[in-house]
C-alpha cells in the first residue's frame, strides 16, 4: 500500500472553475493543510476567500507560492508558459507543480525548461462545465472522470516520484488517471473536445446572423439540438481562444477531415442519396452507445435532464 498523498501548502494560480474545484476537492479529501489563491484579479481572491475555497490570497506570484509544496497552474493555457518561467526562479526547492490546461504540448515544453530542483508534471482533468470563476467550482467535478498526465522527458528519480505523487493526488479526488504523450493527447482532444467546441461556436454564430433576419424566432423555436450547441458555445472565450492558438496543428488536421465528411453529406443531400445519409447516421449511432456503456454519459432521453424531450 502506498502512503496517502498529503501537502502542507497548495498554491492555486488562477482561482476559477477548475482551480477552485481542485481546491475544494483536496480540502474535502483532507489532502492539504493550507490553500493560497494566486490570481491577478483581487476581486476573484476576495470572492474565493468568502466561499472558503482558499485560506488566503495573493496577487503577486512570487509571494503566493512561497512555502508551497504543491503549485497548481489553473490559468488559461496561454498564461502557463510565462507563469512556469517565473516559477523556475521563485518556487520552493522540491515543489510539485501541476497544470490543468486543455492543451498539453505547451505545458510539456514549459515543464522541460524547469530547473531540476522543482518538478512540473503536466495534467489535464477531462472534466468541466461551460461556467467560469470560483463560484462555478464544486468538489465532485473530477469524480469518475479521466485525468491525463503527459510527463516531460525527464528520467531522474525525483521526477518519477513526482509523476506518482501527481497521479495519487488525482486518484484521491476521485479521478481515473491515464499517462500518454502530449502529441497523442492534443490530437485525441482535438477530435473529442476542441473540434466540437469550434463547431458549436460556429453554428451558434451563424444562427445569430440569421436571427437578425428572422427576429426572435431562433430563441422561440430553439429545439434540444440547438440548445445543446448554445450550452457549449457559452464557454469562456479566453480559455477557448488559447486552446485553438496552442493546438493549431491538431485542430487544423481534424478540421480538414471534418470538412471532407461534411462535403460528402452536402453532396448526398443535393443528389437525393438517402443510402449514403442513412449509412453514415447508422454508423455513428454505435459510438453514442459505446460512450454510454463506458459510463461517460447517461442513456436517459435528453441527457437525463428534467425537461420535455425535443428533437
Q: Which long-range contacts (CB under 8 A, 24 or more apart) does 82-88 make?
A: 83/13, 84/110, 84/111, 84/113, 84/114, 84/120, 85/110, 85/113, 86/61, 86/62, 87/61, 87/114, 87/118, 87/120, 88/113, 88/114, 88/115, 88/118
Output the CA–CA distances (angstroms, integers) from residue 159 to 73, 118, 238, 280, in the order listed.
18, 8, 31, 46
Burial 177-204 (b: 16+ CB within 10 A, else e): beeeebeebbbbbbeebbbebbbbbebb
**40 counts as binding ligand NAP under rule CB under 6 A:** yes
Nearest-angstrom CA–CA distance, 284 and 264: 15
Which of 57, 76, 122, 174 is the binder for ligand NAP (CB under 6 A)? 76
CB of residue 147 to ligand NAP, shortest distance in Å: 9
CB of residue 62 to ligand NAP, shortest distance in Å: 12
**98 counts as binding ligand NAP under rule CB under 6 A:** no
Which of 45, 72, 98, 102 is the binder for ligand NAP (CB under 6 A)? 102
Nearest-angstrom CA–CA distance, 90 and 275: 63
**133 counts as binding ligand NAP under rule CB under 6 A:** yes
**17 counts as binding ligand NAP under rule CB under 6 A:** yes
| Closest of 106, 118, 110, 112 to residue 153, by C-alpha | 112
Closer residue to ligand NAP, CB minimum distance, 114 or 147: 147
**18 counts as binding ligand NAP under rule CB under 6 A:** yes
Number of residues interacting with ligand NAP: please give it, by CB under 6 A.
29
**57 counts as binding ligand NAP under rule CB under 6 A:** no
Which of 37, 57, 128, 151 is the binder for ligand NAP (CB under 6 A)? 128
**36 counts as binding ligand NAP under rule CB under 6 A:** no
| Closest of 94, 87, 85 to residue 72, by C-alpha | 87
**239 counts as binding ligand NAP under rule CB under 6 A:** yes
Instruction: Draw the binding track, 184-223, toward ligand NAP (x: CB under 6 A; -: no contact).
Output: ----------------------------------------
Query: Which residues bind to ligand NAP, rule: CB under 6 A?
Result: 13-19, 38-41, 44, 74-77, 79, 83, 100-102, 125, 128-129, 132-133, 236, 239, 243
Amino acid at each position: 500500500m502506498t502512503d496517502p498523498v498529503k501537502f502542507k501548502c497548495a498554491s492555486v494560480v488562477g482561482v476559477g472553475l477548475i482551480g477552485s474545484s481542485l481546491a475544494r476537492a483536496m480540502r474535502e479529501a483532507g489532502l492539504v493543510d493550507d490553500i493560497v489563491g494566486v490570481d491577478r484579479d483581487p476581486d476573484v481572491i476576495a470572492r474565493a476567500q468568502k466561499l472558503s475555497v482558499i485560506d488566503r490570497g495573493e496577487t503577486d506570484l512570487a509571494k503566493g507560492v512561497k512555502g508551497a509544496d504543491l503549485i497548481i497552474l489553473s490559468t488559461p493555457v496561454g498564461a502557463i508558459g510565462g507563469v512556469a518561467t517565473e516559477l523556475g526562479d521563485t518556487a520552493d526547492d522540491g515543489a510539485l507543480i501541476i497544470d490543468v490546461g486543455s492543451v498539453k504540448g505547451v505545458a510539456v515544453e514549459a515543464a522541460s525548461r524547469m530547473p531540476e530542483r522543482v518538478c512540473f508534471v503536466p495534467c489535464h482533468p477531462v472534466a468541466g462545465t461551460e461556467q467560469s470563476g470560483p463560484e462555478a467550482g464544486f468538489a465532485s467535478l473530477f469524480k469518475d472522470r479521466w485525468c491525463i498526465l503527459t510527463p516531460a522527458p525527464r528520467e531522474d528519480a525525483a521526477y518519477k516520484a513526482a509523476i506518482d505523487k501527481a497521479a495519487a493526488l488525482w486518484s484521491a479526488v476521485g479521478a481515473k488517471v491515464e499517462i500518454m504523450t502530449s502529441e497523442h493527447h492534443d490530437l485525441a482532444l482535438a477530435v473529442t473536445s476542441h473540434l466540437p467546441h469550434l463547431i458549436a461556436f460556429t453554428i451558434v454564430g451563424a444562427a445569430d446572423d440569421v436571427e437578425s433576419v428572422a427576429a426572435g424566432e431562433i430563441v422561440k423555436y430553439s429545439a434540444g439540438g440547438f440548445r445543446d450547441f448554445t450550452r457549449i458555445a457559452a464557454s469562456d472565450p479566453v480559455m477557448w481562444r488559447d486552446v485553438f492558438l496552442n493546438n493549431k496543428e491538431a485542430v487544423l488536421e481534424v478540421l480538414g477531415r471534418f470538412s471532407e465528411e461534411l462535403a460528402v453529406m452536402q453532396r448526398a443531400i443535393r443528389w437525393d442519396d438517402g443510402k449514403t445519409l442513412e449509412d453514415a447516421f447508422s454508423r455513428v449511432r454505435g459510438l453514442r452507445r459505446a460512450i454510454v456503456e463506458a459510463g461517460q454519459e447517461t442513456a436517459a432521453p435528453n441527457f437525463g435532464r428534467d425537461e420535455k424531450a425535443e428533437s
